[in-house]
């Protein structure tokens, strides 16, 4: 009888590879069925005209995209100062996070009057105690009863936005809102220096504290201390400074050196939270640059970049190949603020190339490089304005 054992041995690796490829193909097909391609909800704002933006100090780069973004923010901002996250359906609310970025973007191009309207709306709806709501009704400031929990990151975003406007606005009238936000951050910290768990920009219940909560609170405390010093409000400084020192030390201890979404595990265990785009908020223009944070930002960008060229919010986000424009723009802003012009321009050019037919910046870009989700999205518009401005001139960084 002929001995075919050698032939079988040679064919075995081929069979294994074929089986693995079939398994991967089946997994990919299953994932695509579970995560279908998103499409555009709507493109642009009906009846909108792109204004000349003569009141703005326009950056020299990407002026067409910036001008459109400003026009979209004009349309998304109502006469009472409420800044909608988007024009349609579930986006027609005011998120403190999104509104804070819009205010900061307005101030970066010297539109201080427009920023003041936004801060005034936030002042009207502010919580006199406790956390900011996830979102507010644009018409009367009430909190929608949609099951979204209050989010502790709002205190940080509002403080950072107000400080970003401090060179052109008198913040005295907003001091009660800012003091309450700073005190709320202090109240959030537990005995180990970290805040209690809270939903963050992923807007889902979290079983443990995330970097999405910590990063804006750190920036908020730095910004609050700078505001207090500028206004001569010294009573709050010792408490806020102690909170900043405790939170900074706890963040480095439990999240460093890679700064993943959830605290790093001891003894070198793999962190289940993985990279998160919010790591960008640990560096400029939200905080002073540090080498270890810069390394973490650059590693996270590599990990989170999708095959379509954009960025996903995190490693534990759904694996559908869809890029989200706010997170892509956050990495662009981080790069511009740190002086990495090549990365900033590459990401801005990608965003510019994937605007909708109306010129709006969409919420997402799907696997086939088509705009998807809501368009325009206020958060992305604000981030693009901030990034283009940072390419022209340094943005201020809170650094008490």
Q: Is the pLDDT of residue 33 over 70?
A: no
Q: Is the pLDDT of residue 362 over 60?
A: yes
8 assigned to some structural domain: no
120 assigned to some structural domain: yes
Indicate the helix (H) or strand (E) that contains 114. Answer: helix 112-125
Cα separations in angstroms, 7 against 1, 3, 17, 18, 20 = 14, 9, 16, 17, 21
Prior bond to 50 cis, omega within 30? no
70 assigned to some structural domain: yes
222 assigned to some structural domain: yes
Angle between helices 153-164 and 175-188 (to 10 degrees): 140
- Tally of domains in the chain: 1
Q: What is the DSSP string of 62-79?
A: SHHHHHHHHHHHHHHB-T
Q: What's the pLDDT tens digit per position in 200-252?
A: 999 999 999 999 999 999 999 999 999 999 999 999 999 999 999 999 999 99
> What pLDDT shows up at residue 264?
79
**Which residues are CB-neighbours of 310 under 8 A, at least 6 positions away?**
323, 324, 325, 328, 350, 354, 365
216 assigned to some structural domain: yes
Q: Are 107 and 115 in contact (CB under 8 A)?
A: yes
CATH number of the domain at 217, please.
Answer: 1.50.10.10
**Which residues are CB-neighbours of 245 under 8 A, at least 6 positions away?**
none
153 assigned to some structural domain: yes
Give the structural domain span for 74: 35-392
Q: How far apart are CA 393 and CA 381, in angstroms?
A: 19
Q: Is the pLDDT of residue 18 over 50?
A: no
Q: Is the pLDDT of residue 285 over 70?
A: yes
> What pLDDT shows up at residue 160?
98
**Which residues are CB-neighbours of 165 under 8 A, at least 6 positions away?**
103, 104, 106, 107, 112, 115, 116, 119, 171
Q: Is the pLDDT of residue 258 over 50?
A: yes
Q: Per-residue pLDDT averaged across 180-209, rounded?
A: 97
Q: What's the pLDDT tens digit per position in 59-117?
A: 989 999 999 999 999 999 999 999 999 999 999 999 999 999 999 999 999 999 999 99
Which of the four pLDDT bands, split at 50, 70 and 90, describes residue 27? very low
Q: Is the pLDDT of residue 44 over 90?
A: no
pTM of the model: 0.90
Which of the four pLDDT bands, split at 50, 70 and 90, describes residue 36? confident
What is the rounded average pLDDT for all residues in the chain? 91
> What pLDDT shows up at residue 317?
95
> What are residue 189's DSSP bridge partners?
195
Q: How far apart are the first and last CA of the chain?
A: 85
Q: How far apart are CA 27 and CA 19, in angstroms?
A: 12
190 assigned to some structural domain: yes
398 assigned to some structural domain: no
């Amino acid at each position: 009888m002929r001995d075919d054992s050698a032939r079988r041995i040679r064919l075995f690796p081929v069979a294994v590879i074929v089986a693995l490829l079939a398994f991967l193909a089946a997994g990919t097909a299953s994932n695509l069925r579970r995560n279908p391609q998103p499409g555009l909800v709507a493109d642009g704002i009906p009846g909108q005209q792109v204004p000349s933006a003569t009141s703005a100090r326009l950056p020299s780069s990407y002026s067409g995209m910036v001008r459109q973004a400003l026009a979209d923010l004009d349309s998304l901002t109502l006469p009472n100062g409420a800044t909608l996250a988007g024009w349609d359906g579930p986006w027609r609310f005011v998120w403190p996070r999104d509104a804070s970025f819009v205010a900061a973007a307005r101030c970066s191009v010297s539109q201080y009057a427009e920023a003041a309207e936004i801060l005034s709306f936030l002042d009207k709806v502010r919580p006199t105690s406790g956390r900011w709501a996830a979102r507010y009704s644009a018409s009367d400031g009430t909190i929608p009863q949609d099951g979204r929990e209050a989010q502790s990151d709002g205190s940080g975003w509002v403080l950072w936005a107000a400080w970003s406007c401090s060179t052109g606005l008198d913040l005295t009238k907003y001091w009660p809102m800012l003091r309450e936000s700073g005190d709320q951050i202090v109240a959030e910290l537990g005995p180990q220096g970290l805040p209690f768990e809270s939903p963050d920009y992923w807007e889902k219940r979290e079983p443990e504290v995330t970097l999405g909560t910590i990063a804006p609170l750190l920036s908020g405390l730095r910004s609050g201390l700078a505001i207090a010093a500028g206004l001569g409000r010294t009573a709050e400084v010792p408490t806020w400074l102690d909170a900043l020192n405790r939170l900074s030390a706890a963040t480095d201890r439990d999240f460093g050196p890679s700064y993943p979404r959830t605290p790093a595990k001891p003894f070198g265990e793999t962190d289940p939270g993985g990279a998160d785009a919010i790591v960008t908020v640990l560096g400029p223009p939200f905080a002073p640059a540090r080498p270890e944070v810069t390394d973490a930002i650059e590693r996270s960008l590599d990990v989170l970049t999708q095959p379509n060229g954009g960025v996903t919010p995190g490693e534990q986000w759904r694996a559908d190949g869809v890029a989200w424009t706010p997170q892509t723009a956050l990495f662009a802003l981080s790069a511009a603020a740190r002086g990495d012009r090549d990365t900033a321009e590459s990401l801005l050019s990608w965003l510019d190339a994937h605007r909708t037919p109306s010129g709006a910046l969409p919420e997402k870009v799907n696997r086939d490089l088509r705009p998807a989700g809501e368009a325009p999205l206020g958060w992305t518009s604000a981030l693009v304005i901030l990034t283009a401005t940072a390419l022209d001139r340094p943005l201020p960084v809170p650094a008490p």
